[in-house]
C-alpha cells in the first residue's frame, strides 16, 4: 500500500511520519487480496489555533480500494495528534473488515447456491 502524507499548519517531523507509516501500514493485512495499486492519503494538522481549550488536532484518511467505487474515508479531531491518528485507524479498520467480510459472505453464498443446484441435478437423474 502506498501512503501519501500531507501536513496542514503543522511541521511533519520524522517521528510523526514514522508513526503514521506504522499505524496505517498495518492496515495492509486487511487489503491482502488486492494488488499493490491501493493508495492511502493521510492528512494531519492543527484544526484551529485560537481554540479556548488548546490546539485541536485533525487526522483524515482516504483509502481507494480497487473494485470499491466509493472508497473509505475517516476523519477525527482530538486533543493530541497521536490520539486522532489512532481513532482514524480504528474507523478505517472497521470499514475494511466490513468489506472483507462482505466479500467472503458473497463467495459462501455462491458456493451454497452451486451445491444446491448440483444436488438438484443429481436427484433428477
Q: What is the mean pLDDT of the chain?
A: 83
More confident of the two residues 84 and 101: 84
Domain boundaries, the chain: 2-99
Q: Which of 16-25, 57-66, 79-88 has the lowest mean pLDDT?
A: 57-66
36-59 residue pLDDT tens: 678 889 999 987 766 566 788 999
Structural contact between residues 51 and 9, judged by C-beta atoms closer than 8 angstroms: no
pLDDT, residue 53, reads 67
Fold (topology level) of 2-99? Double Stranded RNA Binding Domain (3.30.160)
97-124 residue pLDDT tens: 887 787 777 777 787 777 777 777 676 6
pLDDT, residue 51, reads 57
Residue 81 CB burial class (10 angstroms; 0-12, 13-18, ≥19): buried
Cα 85–chain centre separation = 12
Amino acid at each position: 500500500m502506498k501512503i501519501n502524507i500531507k501536513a496542514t499548519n503543522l511541521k511533519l517531523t520524522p517521528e510523526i511520519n514514522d508513526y503514521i507509516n506504522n499505524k496505517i501500514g498495518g492496515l495492509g493485512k486487511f487489503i491482502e487480496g488486492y494488488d499493490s495499486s491501493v493508495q492511502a492519503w493521510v492528512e494531519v494538522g492543527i484544526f484551529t489555533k485560537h481554540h479556548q481549550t488548546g490546539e485541536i488536532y485533525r487526522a483524515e484518511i482516504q483509502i481507494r480500494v480497487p473494485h470499491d467505487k466509493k472508497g473509505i474515508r475517516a476523519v477525527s479531531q482530538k486533543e493530541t495528534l497521536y490520539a486522532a491518528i489512532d481513532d482514524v485507524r480504528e474507523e478505517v479498520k472497521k470499514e475494511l473488515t466490513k468489506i472483507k467480510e462482505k466479500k467472503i459472505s458473497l463467495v459462501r453464498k455462491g458456493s451454497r447456491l452451486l451445491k444446491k443446484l448440483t444436488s438438484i441435478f443429481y436427484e433428477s437423474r
